[in-house]
Amino acid sequence: MSVSALTRPGERDRLVVKFSEIDWLFSLALCLIAGAGALMMFSIAGSSWEPWAGAHLLRFGIMFVVMVALA
């Protein structure tokens, strides 16, 4: 049986249901990897967010929001 056969009409469209279907453990792993990468770039740049770490975190944050919105 498909998921649509097991849910009531309109229930799959609820935002709470859609958020519960996201693999948050995988999302946490992605955030940890991106954070570790940003810390490495921060260290390489002599404890400065510019030129790499700040841009990396900004791009990751924007794309993470896009990923969750598309999911």
Provide the pLDDT for residue 18: 85
Cβ distance 49 to 42 under 8 Å? yes
Provide the pLDDT for residue 61: 97
Provide the pLDDT for residue 19: 87
Q: How far is Cα 60 from Cα 38, in angstroms, rounded to an integer?
A: 10
Provide the pLDDT for residue 2: 58
Q: What angle do CA 68, 70, 71 make, to 5 degrees?
A: 65
Cβ distance 34 to 53 under 8 Å? no
- Say whether pLDDT at 45 is over 60: yes
Please state the rounded mean pLDDT for residues 22-49: 96
pLDDT-based confidence at residue 5 (cuts at 50, 70, 90): low
What does pTM read for this prediction?
0.74
Q: How far is Cα 35 from Cα 22, in angstroms, rounded to an integer?
A: 20
Cβ distance 59 to 10 under 8 Å? no
